[in-house]
Amino acid sequence: MTTKSEQQSAGRGIRQSMSELHTWVGLLLGWVLYAMFLTGTVSYFKDELSQWARPELARLTERPDAAVVAQRIATAFDKVAPGTSQWSVRLPDDRNNSAYAFWRTASREPGQRGFAEGHFDPATGERVAARDTLGGDFFYRFHFQFHYMPVPWGRWLAGIAAMFMLVAIISGVITHKKIFVDFFTFRWGKGQRSWLDAHNMLSVFGLPFHAMITYTGLVTLMAMYMPWGGQVAIKSPAERQQLQAELSAFTQPGKPSGQKVPMASITEMVREAQQRWGHDNVGRVNVTHSGDAAARVTVTRGDSGRLSMSPQYMEFEGTTGRLLSARDEVGGAAETRGVLYALHLGRFGDGFTRWLYFLVSLAGTAMVGTGLVMWTVKRRQKLSDPARPHIGFRLVERLNIAGIAGLSIAMTAFLWGNRLLPTTLAGRANWEVDLFFIVWALALGHALLRPVRAAWVEQLGAASVLLFLLPVLNAATTQRPFWHSVAQGDWVFAGIDLMCWAFAALHLVLARRTARHHLAAPIKRRADRPGAAAIASGGAAE
Amino acid sequence: MSHVVALMFSLAGFAALACASRRQQRDLFGGSLGSAVTLGFRLAGGAALLGALAVLVAWHGWGLALVMYSGHTSLAAGIVGAVLIVYGRSARPKFRPR
């Protein structure tokens, strides 16, 4: 039988263990997590960022009729890619001003199936010559598979980081014993205590979201991380095809008959889908073997208002328009995965819900950032010689600067590159990405070479200037300056300009606070100003 | 519209719950309030948060409402927390050592 004091001691032991676990799982991949969080956060507006990245594409003043657009694109494909075995188009909607399509091309190498892609004008169906860019898709892809490494490696790294995050969340909850009592507690100017309070507030306010987004992030790639069950249960090609149908509406083309037959009206097929799901709730049209007797047309439901990514689609016989099958539901396991996937992506929500996702995810980014900075703040106080910290401490300090402030500069540089790189540049989209990494590497070099506080101030200041001037650059290089966007009611372009200025102000405040503490440090480092002392000795905000 | 109403309920709920916290009572009112008043704030806060959930469920159904509710409560808690920080900073005596 244990005594009360032994129980209390055991409780403290568990809390202490969890605290250490929280600290180290948070730190080891903290910079990866910060980058995943920030790029994931902006990805909630990836469609809007992609619109901004292609200013040549005209703004849609009203949503076009999906049925009419789909037929226009189908007609265009007779010229763009005659004889392709499959093409698929994402129809324009409230967040996308173009129809984006990809299609199969002749194999480039034996055993490989090539794809091509392009944007199409919804009004004419003609292919649009927009600048070569990944737009918001770069941040979205980077968020879960990074870059310059094989996709599976990147996804494994993201999965390991997400698992670390999940452990950090659970251990953090156990560590934080006064979640409700200290719910609103923030002690200003108390150094390490202030950082801890800020970290706790950012964590606790969005705790359901942070836990959900981390867990669902793991679920989105669970079949890759844990493939063994599927490998045992599903062996034949027919079973694999059945599984694929449970997870995605994208089907592989079958064999063509070789008999040429004109296609039926795709407009009518989409109309039938509109009657089923609503006029503005058709997402994609997929056509295989167009013009062949074996042609199939699949119309998929849009994401709006549906808390699931499980496929819902109608399959038609291409030459007659006859409905062959309609899938409205999947099995329980597939639906569970579909709901969790949808929760992660947040595409079901209206504009307000998307902003909620963005803001709480931004708080999650700040949660990771404050945790990283706190690691150095806490340990700096224990250094035997703060002027000459050990190598591990210096490494964390410098990686914090490049990982937090440097990432802001790199992401903004990507957007600058979008406006400044010549549209005729070969491999332009890759150059934008290269620019992102070149600037990020330069930020790391700068952080390694400069004194810590100066590096924080300079990088935060640089991010602020670049963000502030981005709308100016946009005004100078496109026909869509801020005032024009406001006058036209183009809130995609105006909103991105405003967000740039808001983030510029945030970086400026952080830079100024860091610089001010630096200047005041020799005077204010007093016993009655522990916060100033800690901040002055720590860096940015640190 | 449902978002505005739900956010108002959430803000009121967290404001009431903040007033029910001892530390915030000291900061806002200069001392601890009576247990009956504290309980009243706590009940009012809980009721307002349930009201926010009810509004969202009525408008959007349970599935979407629960997701939105999570966002609304996080945002409202953040706003109330930020207001308390700003209030605490502005209400603090301006002591400047000479």
Using one digit for the tens of pLDDT, what is the confidence trace for A304-346?
888 999 999 999 999 999 999 999 889 898 899 999 999 999 9
Q: Are B23 and B45 in contact (CB under 8 A)?
A: no
Q: Is the dihedral of CA A187, A190, A196, A202 positive or negative?
A: positive
Query: Cα(first)–Cα(last) distance of chain A, in Å?
Result: 47
A positions 351-390 inside 8 Å of B (CB): 352-353, 356-357, 359-360, 363
Residues A402 and A537 both lie in one domain = yes
Closest CB to A184 among B73, B81, B89: B81
Let me know if residue A156 belongs to a domain.
Answer: no
Interface contact flag, A208 B72, Cβ < 8 Å: no
Q: Tell whether A302 and A410 lie within a shared domain.
A: no
- Write out pLDDT tens, residues A153-168: 999 999 999 999 999 9
8-state DSSP, A404: I
Do residues A407 and A478 both lie within one domain? yes
As a whole number, mean pLDDT of residues A524-541 equals 39
Q: Determine, yes or no, domain membership for A488.
A: yes
- pLDDT given at position A501: 98
Confidence of residue A110 (pLDDT cuts 50, 70, 90): low
A419, A538: one domain: yes
Q: Which residues of chain B are at the A interface, by a Cβ-Cβ cutoff of 8 Å?
A: 3, 17-18, 21-24, 63-64, 67-68, 70-75, 77-78, 80-81, 84-85, 88-89, 97
Which candidate from A186, A352, A356 shows the least CB-CB separation from B81?
A186
- The pLDDT score that the predictor gives to residue A520 is 41
Tokens for A338?
A: 């579909």
Tell me how crowded residue A231 is: count the other CB atoms within 10 A of its CB.
Answer: 8
Same domain, A505 and A428: yes
d(CA A466, CA A417): 12
What is the ipTM score, two decimals?
0.91
Residue A476 lies in a domain: yes
Summarised one tens digit per residue, pLDDT across range A217-231 is 999 999 889 888 888
Percentage above 90 pLDDT, chain A: 65
Enumerate residues 6+ apart whose C-beta is below 8 A from A422: A428
Whether residues A319 and A389 fall in one domain: no
Could A208 and B80 be called an inter-chain contact, meaning their C-beta atoms sit closer than 8 Å?
no
Of B3, B22, B89, the CB nearest to A352: B3
B72/A356 Cβ within 8 A: yes
CB-CB neighbors (< 8 A) of B72 in chain A:
356
**Nearest chain A CA: its distance from B71 CA (Å):** 5
How far apart CA A412 and CA A466 sit, in angstroms, is: 7
Please choose, from the candidates A349, A436, A528, the residue with its C-alpha nearest in 3D space to the C-alpha of residue A138.
A436
| Sequence-distant (≥ 6) Cβ neighbours of residue A353 within 8 angstroms | A346, B3, B64, B67, B68, B71
Contact B70 A305 (CB under 8 A): no
* A290 plus A439 within the same structural domain: no
The predicted-structure confidence for A384-399, as pLDDT tens digits, reads as follows 887 788 889 999 999 9
Which residue in chain A is spatially nearest to B16 when comparing CA positions? Answer: A184
Q: Is A286 helix (H, G, I), strand (E, B) or coil?
A: strand
Whether A436 and A530 share a structural domain: yes
User: At A138, which amino acid appears?
Assistant: F
A474-523 pLDDT, tens per residue?
A: 999 999 999 999 999 999 999 999 999 999 999 999 999 988 875 444 43
A269: its two tokens? 């097929």
Tell whether A82 lies on the interface with B, counting CB pairs under 8 A.
Answer: no
Cα(A512)–Cα(B32) distance, integer angstroms: 37
Per-residue pLDDT at A106 = 77
CA gyration radius, chain B = 16
Position A532 confidence tier, pLDDT thresholds 50, 70, 90: very low
Mean pLDDT of all residues in chain A? 89
pLDDT confidence tier of residue A44, bands split at 50, 70 and 90: very high
Assigned domain for A514 exists: yes
Torsion angle, CA of A273/A275/A279/A281, rounded to 10 degrees? -50
> How many residue pairs from chains A and B have C-beta atoms closer than 8 A?
72
Residue of B nearest to A211 (CA): B70
Q: Do B24 and A205 touch (CB under 8 A)?
A: no
Residue A469 belongs to some domain of the structure? yes
What gap in Å lies between CA A32 and CA A38, rounded to an integer? 10
Q: CA triplet B15, B16, B17: central angle to 5 degrees?
A: 90
Report the distance separating Cα B24 and Cα B88, nearest Å. 9
Question: Is A349 within 8 Å of B3 when comparing Cβ atoms?
Answer: no
In terms of phi and psi (left: phi > 0; alpha: psi -120 to 50; beta: otherwise), the region of A427 is left
What pLDDT sits at residue B6? 96
Domain hosting A282: range is: 66-131+253-328
A87 falls within a domain: yes
User: Where does residue A282 fall: left (phi above 0), alpha (psi -120 to 50 degrees), or beta otherwise?
Assistant: beta
Contact A208 B74 (CB under 8 A): yes
- The verdict on A307 and A391 lying in the same domain is no
Tell me the per-residue pLDDT of B53-95, one tens digit each, with 9 for 90 and over: 999 999 999 999 999 999 999 999 999 999 999 988 887 655 4
Q: From the candidates A202, A203, A205, A336, which should be mutated to test the interface with B, based on the most B CB atoms within 10 A? A: A205
Residue A184 touches partner B, C-beta closer than 8 Å: yes
Q: Are residues A312 and A452 in the same domain?
A: no
**CA dihedral over A92, A482, A131, A459, signed as positive or negative:** negative
Q: Which of A30-39, A246-255, A459-468 has the lowest mean pLDDT?
A: A246-255
Using the Cβ of A182 and the Cβ atoms of chain B, whether some distance falls under 8 Å is answered with yes
- Cβ(A379)–Cβ(A433) below 8 Å: no
Q: How high is the pLDDT of residue A298? A: 95
When divided into structural domains, chain A yields a total of 2
A501 touching chain B per CB within 8 A? no
Same domain flag for A470 and A542:
yes
**How are beta strands A86-90 and A313-317 bridged, if at all?**
unpaired
For chain B, domain boundaries: 2-91
Q: What is the model's pLDDT at position A319?
A: 93
For A117-135, what is each residue's pLDDT tens digit? 889 999 888 888 889 999 9
- Please list, residue by residue across A465-490, b when 16 or more beta carbons sit within 10 angstroms of its beta carbon and e when fewer do: bbbbebbebbbeeeebbbeebeeeeb
Residues A414 and A540 in one domain: yes
Q: Please report whether residue A298 resides in a domain.
A: yes
Smallest CA–CA distance, residue B78 to chain A, in Å, is 6
Which of A288, A305, A328 terminates a domain? The answer is: A328
Question: Does A195 contact chain B (CB < 8 Å)?
Answer: no
